[in-house]
Amino acid sequence: MRKFGKTAASVLALASVAMAAPAMAKHHENDDKKMEETAPTAQDAEKFVAKAEKKLFDYSVEASKVYWINSTYITQDTDALAAAAGAEGTELSVNLALKAAKYADVAGLSPETKRKLDKLRGGIVLPAPTTEGAATELNEIATKLNSAYGKGMGTLEGKPINGSDIEAAMGTNRNPDQLKEMWESWHNQVGAPMKDDYARMVGIANEGAKELGFKDVGAMWRSGYDMPADDFAALTETLWQEVKPLYDELHCYTRDKLNEKYGDDVQPESGPIRADLLGNMWAQEWGNIYEIVAPEGAGDIGFDVTELLTEKDYDPIKMVKAGEGFFSSLGFEPLPETFYERSQFVKPQDRDVVCHASAWNIDNVDDIRIKMCIKVNGDDFTTIHHELGHNYYQRAYNQKSYLHLDGANDGFHEAIGDAIALSMTPEYLVQIDLLDESQVPSADKDIGLLLRQAMDKVAFLPFGLLVDRWRWGVFDGSITPDTYNQAWTDLRRQYQGITPPVDRPADAFDPGAKYHIPGNTPYTRYFLARILQFQFYKAACDAAGWEGPLHRCSFYGNEEVGKRLNAMLEMGASKPWPDALEAFTGTREMSGKALTEYFAPLQGWLKEQNKGKSCGW
């Protein structure tokens, strides 16, 4: 089932789990006896893995359907069904993880079996301890939090406004009082009520992680990257330091423009940026306020994707078809009919759903779907490509065995569609008839094009990092319920240089207002993806023989690139991620170099603009 960007169900990183029927329980007992009587052999381990994969596969197909229904029709009943399916899955996956640990040191294991045992042991997003009732309580809380987010409302001018509408309004509204109202109401109404449940959930999951031999859940999450967990944490820091100078320049320049527009009372000249002014509820991507920062002349890029979509009468389906068209141009098979029949493209009017976008693989074969509440705007056009990247990845590796039905690491899975979307250059928009040839910005607008991209891509980097810096702290106990909110606000200030538009009350729980916290979706994957997508894009452009400035490259229609990409995708999780990276890019290192190279002309320009200003916060 593996859902990307999904939730409640995401209690298992292993999409699946359970099936505990009595016959099977008996079988486990026999296995256990055997292990006690005679030392297990490598062959026993292989047999165990094969059986585990079958159980997980079967469970995942059933559970995915339950989760799908819950996410697209939130009621008490579907919550109960999802929590029950989740509990079954937790029990199955924990049971298998405990057994996998016993096989880990068996002599003569093949690298493949060893790798699968590691995945069984470490691949659970939220484990529960084997204590009676723990899996049930954990899943009831996780389902409740996920659904609470789906049902969440804020206010605008005193009137209720739902999640997808408020998200879009934060992108277009320029009235600082209304922005503040939306920001504050969303954080108070959605986040705050979750705090106690969240704390309880963390306690249970940590107990589960300890039973499986991990220090805490965060250590378990960090163990999934083909390297020691501490090295992985260090790697994320190294990557951040590579790109931080670029972020700092962008922050300085943007703050200045906001100060010019709104004045000192709304956005002071120094210090952090007010979080609600950046065109996004979480200040995670700033592209929506491009018009505020666009430099005269060079910044006048002459088009805006939202406007183009509207002018050309795009509707949600037409947007999805355009996304599919890109993949088809690379030689990928068309999406199955069932994709169009079964996906949720727009928000149903008559019921609560989880609007946060996700990509689903229901049957681990070809029943792939997206779940979105698409609006006709540039953000959702990009998100469609992002989600389709997940679906094409899922389909490319569907021949693999269950424990290899995944990305090389989770950052890869998040990066594929984004790498495609980087190829949506003005020239590409002409090719698909969204833009007229006469509107293609000339080379003297390059800074504008780069700045527009940086507002989304570079601005995201510190946010991508801090969400799990916060969660790692929560799981290791250095952040406690008393300090949940202050620690979140402090990290937002430290990494992003932003500040809430209003003082936060003592009972606030602002992290809960970001989907992935109640949805229990690990977030470091998006930080990695922001870096990796530039590595993928550059490799694709090199393979296409592109010689101009990197940001003008589009590999649309290049089947050679498609073949190479597919070679990486079809590996799934069968090899350590450096092997997959090497297959497509020729390097075994994740590195910020491709990203900084892409933005190099902009970085020089920003430095120039910021001369004499006191940057930082």
Active site residue 537: no
Residue whose C-beta lies closest to ligand X8Z:
5
C-alpha torsion angle, residues 27, 30, 31, 32 (rounded to 10): 120
Mask for 533-572, x = binds ligand X8Z (CB under 6 A): ----------------------------------------
Separation in Å, CA 492 to CA 254, 374, 426, 522? 17, 28, 34, 17
Q: Which does 358 bind (CB under 5 to 8 A by kind): ligand X8Z, Zn ion, none?
A: ligand X8Z
* Nearest in space to 286 (alpha carbons), one of 452, 166, 526, 529: 452
Beta strands 159-162 and 153-156, pairing class: antiparallel
Nearest-angstrom CA–CA distance, 333 and 349: 33
Cβ atoms within 10 A of the Cβ of 560, count?
Answer: 14
State yes or no: residue 279 binds Zn ion (CB under 5 A).
no
**Residue 526 annotated as catalytic:** yes
Question: Cα 368 from chain centroid?
Answer: 18
> Closest separation between CB of residue 3 and ligand X8Z, Å?
9
Q: How far, in Å, CA of 539 to CA of 308, rounded?
A: 29
> Which range in 318-326, 407-415, 429-437, 531-539 contacts Zn ion by CB under 5 A?
407-415
Distance set, CA 81 to CA 20, 201, 239 (Å): 16, 19, 41
- How many angstroms separate the CA atoms of 532 and 595, rounded? 8
Q: Does 496 bind ligand X8Z (CB under 6 A)?
A: no
Judged by CB under 5 A, the residue of 5, 129, 191, 497 near Zn ion is 5
- Residue 140 contact, options Zn ion, ligand X8Z, none, Cβ 5-8 Å cut-off depending on partner type: none
**How many residues of this chain bind ligand X8Z (CB under 6 A)?**
8
Is residue 323 involved in binding ligand X8Z (CB under 6 A)?
no
β 368-371/358-361 pair status = antiparallel
Interaction of residue 386 with ligand X8Z, rule CB under 6 A = yes
The DSSP line for 239-251 is HHHHHHHHHHHHH
Spot the catalytic one: 253, 324, 387, 556: 387
Tokens representing 253 are 């320049």
28 as an active site residue: the answer is no
> Rounded distance, CA 612 to CA 256, Å?
12
The answer to whether 414 contacts Zn ion (rule: CB under 5 A) is: yes
Residue 356 bears catalytic tag: yes
Q: Which is nearer to ligand X8Z, 370 or 435 (CB)?
A: 370
Query: Quick check: is 387 catalytic?
Result: yes
Strands (E) in 358-464, as ranges, are 358-361, 368-371
Q: Which does 357 bind (CB under 5 to 8 A by kind): ligand X8Z, Zn ion, none?
A: ligand X8Z
358 binds ligand X8Z (CB under 6 A): yes
Task: Assess whether 404 carries a catalytic annotation.
Answer: no
Which residue lies nearer to ligand X8Z by CB, 134 or 419? 419
Active site residue 516: yes
Using CB under 6 A, pick the residue from 526, 536, 537, 584 that binds ligand X8Z: 526
Looking at the Cβ atoms of 5 and 562, the one nearer to Zn ion is 5
SS3 536: helix
Q: Which residues are catalytic?
A: 356-357, 386-387, 390, 414, 516, 526
Residues that bind ligand X8Z (CB under 6 A): 4-5, 284, 357-358, 383, 386, 526
Contacts to Zn ion by CB under 5 A: 4-5, 414
